[in-house]
């Protein structure tokens, strides 16, 4: 056995001897077991915290679809008043119809909460609309590069926008932030 800088260094013959090998394996397995237990405990704590957060707060998507309403309205008049404080504008650009901040009553009339949902990460993908599709953005920010208008400024949409994409529209969907949206693809008649 050689000692260097306060550490014990074993020779090859000593390392292969049964008592030293057993000691090294015991220490390694103990450290390995402790690491695994620590990781498991950490994961369990994270799951517990996430569950507590989910159970203690209603999700923001269940109270009101309008992203500017931070708390549920107690009645329809209060709901309409909350959405009329923001200006609703309708724009048609590159064949797309975009309505900024539609009133909650319009969203209810369209049945937006019955539509399919999409949650997606930051990404950039080409997309072709096989049918007329209406989208309501709840979260996120997206740049739309519309085919045929590549030399023009891309259209920016975000939370609170209601967009109608005509059948056959080809775009590049560039999500600048994670997205949560409702969408409705109209059936062929």
Residue pLDDT, tens place only, 168-189? 999 999 999 999 999 999 876 6
Strands 133-139 and 96-100: unpaired
**pTM of this structure:** 0.57
Percent of the chain's residues with pLDDT above 70: 53
Comparing 51-65, 78-92, 142-156, the range with the smallest average pLDDT is: 51-65
d(CA 73, CA 69): 8
Residue pLDDT, tens place only, 87-108? 889 999 999 999 999 999 999 9
Q: Are 110 and 182 in contact (CB under 8 A)?
A: no
Percent of the chain's residues with pLDDT above 90: 50
The reported pLDDT for the residue numbered 56 is 38
């Amino acid at each position: 056995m050689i000692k260097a800088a306060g550490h014990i260094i074993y020779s090859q013959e000593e390392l292969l001897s049964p008592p030293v090998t057993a000691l090294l394996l015991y220490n390694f397995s103990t450290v390995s077991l402790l690491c695994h237990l620590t990781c498991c405990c950490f994961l369990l704590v994270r799951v517990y915290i996430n569950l507590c957060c989910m159970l203690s707060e209603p999700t923001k998507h269940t109270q009101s679809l309008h992203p500017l309403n931070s708390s549920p309205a107690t009645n329809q008049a209060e709901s309409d008043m909350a959405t009329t404080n923001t200006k609703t504008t309708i724009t048609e650009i590159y064949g797309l119809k975009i309505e900024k901040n539609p009133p909650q009553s319009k969203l209810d009339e369209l049945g937006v909460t019955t539509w399919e949902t999409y949650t997606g990460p930051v990404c950039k993908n080409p997309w072709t609309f096989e049918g007329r599709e209406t989208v309501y953005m709840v979260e996120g920010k997206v740049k739309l590069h519309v085919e045929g208008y590549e030399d023009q400024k891309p259209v920016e949409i975000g939370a609170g926008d209601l967009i109608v994409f005509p059948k056959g529209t080809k775009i590049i969907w560039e999500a600048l932030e994670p997205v949560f949206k409702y969408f409705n693809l109209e059936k062929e008649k």
